[in-house]
Amino acid sequence: MTFRLEMKVRDYECDLQGIVNNGVYFNYLEHARHEFLLEKGIDFAALTAQGIHLVVVRSELDYRQSLTSGDRFAIEVQVERISRVKFGFRQQVIRLSDNQVVLHGLVIGVALNPQGRPCVLPALETLLEG
């Protein structure tokens, strides 16, 4: 199952070279992950109120091309199990004007219980099994 979110590059996200700053891609990917989870019924604010925190423990990004101001793009998200408690989001950014993949990413996360220990999150388990 692939989730897809479309966005547009804003001027202030570009550096002096006129391309999207590499750090901005982390924001794009995070926004897409949050939207994906919300669509699946997993709400960060509700989890935090319960003392459960979803945290990133590793990010791997492969930059292929650059986006520039005004480019429209899509972020695709797929989730997979990495280990008993770790889950991974395979993500890619695709420029819509030419369908070129701009970035491939793997972001690995874990749920922490109120004691700060990794735990299995039932809502995420259901998502991983589905």
Neighbours of 128 (CB within 10 A): 15
The length of the chain is 130
Return d(Cα 100, Cα 117) in angstroms, integer.
40
Q: Is 71 a catalytic residue?
A: no
Structure tokens that stand for 121 in this block: 């999150």
Catalytic residue (choose from 11, 15, 43, 62):
15
Return d(Cα 94, Cα 13) in angstroms, integer.
17
Catalytic residues: 15
